[in-house]
Structure 1
């Protein structure tokens, strides 16, 4: 490695050792759970590091605590920019060390996250459509008020704080061959890879980022930091358009592989974790499991640690994701067809669905559908079934009774 990278890695590693005490005093040592089901599916021994159970609901509090602890006593206040987890982490850390805090959030930030930040005593300013607009505003405020600006991922102290996760995993898991880490701006994976590679050179570090925002994959391919188009993603916590200068150096030097996952794979992972593991993860937090379920990494015969980086997800988003996952698995069906607009027909149609153990969720009439034959009405029916094969049986029986329905 080049001398500048060696010095950066040395600083991060030494900082992580110091950060352990600060983090242990003000945050949780999160549990590790062995996943029998994921181990069966993948052929590896899969351990889940549950940072979704951390204070503020994500790992971000670690880096924030260490950074603010280093600033306490030398600054009059803290400013940061974030749409979510980093904002809560910095707001909490500032309250711990008695410093006023301003958080600049994009105008699109959810009410839930805005209120969470305010609950830790921070002042929230909404500015700009995307993070970059908010960051520029935060830097301006920091200069005006002579506050310290904390970058969400490209600060060595922040990276050191995130690295405390690795120290905990080494103590909690007897042997680790591979660590799978969600990859946003790179602060988390930089901290973890620095500590893990210093403790055991043979460990494999794999980063997972969304296909919709593959900034590290593209940057490494080009050999330089590249700006990537940010497309909408369920894993909004990973939606950074470019790597950081420091994180890019660390990732290029210490991370062994980067894989990407698509939106359906992330949604499936969130649903899987909730249904099978009883773990509530946000999109970013589920990225590592998405890579496993999508067969993006080969972990057969390996002891694997997967970081579930956070669990801050809106209830409405959970509902939509569950519906999406059920539909993709064939356990939720939507059919559309036309029936005579006279008594008894709806009852017969729903009776056929019930005989096949279908659980009807919704029935919607569309009398204004001009495609309907005279004296007929259009019906959209949403129902749960055991499998997609059952839907085909229901459609066949409906047709045998003179009702023409199609899957939507």
Structure 2
């Protein structure tokens, strides 16, 4: 068993990212409350730098690297949002960055990762091991590996979103009952649980429900090639001991939503909230809108975790 991430680590992360990361607002919508029967407060991390919450954890992780170890830079692996977060954090801190990305990663995410000055190395997600590729590059260059969720600094950085949400609600005299959080490997969900100290429901796409299965079964349970999904940011097949133990320590639970439900949530966000959200960034909203989450009469924080969506996929969602 690993030691769960602690609240003090999130406090330290908040100090590191202050003035660099965007303190995203809390938003409300009468239409959303009417559709769900709940009082919902949205935390729109699609408005974060690089378009997702990932910048928080990336900047905190890179900031924690001792100055003597920064020269060789960093290596990360990601389908896109962590890639962009690490690329921008490296640029701001003056570190070289290599990002290992799947060959089928959305073009918009690849372009923006390169736009921040990072070198991109592609791999086949079905036949190659991204961890091994990144490890080999790091060993050759003497670089620091920055994983997308299996890292205390990364999780603590993501947890600052939860800390902010609760503090902003408290300033309004409001206390939330729970949080619905988009989930791939569990970095945001576990960090949010630590930083907010709220009960967290981790929401995954159907098929990619390794976190749901693991939390329900009391042990890490991987999934095996579930097939394509519009939720490209949430295609994790196996969670890490660190995210598992942190989520369990906070009593988190999980649930899934379907492809159509995620698409409809993207469309709802656009039409009713005037926000552009990618399918993977909308699964928590989908859990609220679909009725899968039992939230009627409750005060709920819902995370919109990213907005980096391909135009063609976005059009498909609007047509749902």
Quickly name the TM-score band, shorter chain normalised.
Answer: over 0.9
Q: Which residue of 2 aligns with 1:167?
A: 163
Equivalences for 1:5-404 in 2 at 5 Å?
7-10=3-6, 13-75=7-69, 76-130=72-126, 133-173=129-169, 174-197=174-197, 203-229=198-224, 230-323=226-319, 325=320
Instruction: Report the TM-score, using the length of structure 2 for normalisation.
Output: 0.94
In angstroms, what is the RMSD of aligned CA positions? 1.5
Whole-angstrom CA distance in 2 between matches of 1:301 and 1:176: 11
Task: Report if the CA contact (8 A) 2:215-2:253 is conserved.
Answer: no
The Cα offsets for residues 357-386 of structure 1, whole Å up to 9 and x where unpaired, read as: xxxxxxxxxxxxxxxxxxxxxxxxxxxxxx
Equivalents in 2 of 1:132, 1:239: separation in Å? 15
Equivalent pair of 2:216/2:253 in contact (CA under 8 Å): no
Q: CA deviation at 1:31?
A: 1.3
Three-state SS of the structure 2 residue aligned to 1:179 is strand
For structure 2, the 5+ residue unaligned runs are: none
- What's the offset of the Cα at 1:252? 2.1
Structure 1: 4+ residue segments shifted above 6 A? none
1:36–1:46 Cα contact (<8 Å) kept: no
* Larger gyration radius, structure 1 or structure 2: 1
Give the equivalent residue in structure 2 for 1:389.
none
What is the alpha-carbon distance in structure 1 between the residues aligned to residue 29 and residue 126 of structure 2? Answer: 37
Shift of 1:35: 1.6
How many angstroms does 1:222 deviate by? 3.4
TM-score, normalised on structure 1?
0.74
Question: Any conservation in 2 of the 1:106–1:133 contact (CA below 8 Å)?
Answer: no
CA distance in 2, matches of 1:178, 1:107: 37
SS of residue in 1 equivalent to 2:214: helix
Give the conservation status (yes or no) of the 8 Å contact 2:215–2:254: no
Unaligned runs of 5+ in 1: 198-202, 326-408
Shift of the 178–221 alpha-carbon distance from structure 1 to 2, 3 Å rule, reads closer
Q: 3-state SS of the aligned residue for 1:312?
A: coil
Distance change >3 Å, CA 245–CA 45, structure 1 → 2: same
Q: Which structure ranks higher in relative contact order (CA pairs < 8 Å, sequence separation ≥ 6)?
A: 2
C-alpha spacing 1:248/1:148, structure 2 compared with 1 (3 Å): same
CA distance in 2, matches of 1:308, 1:112: 19
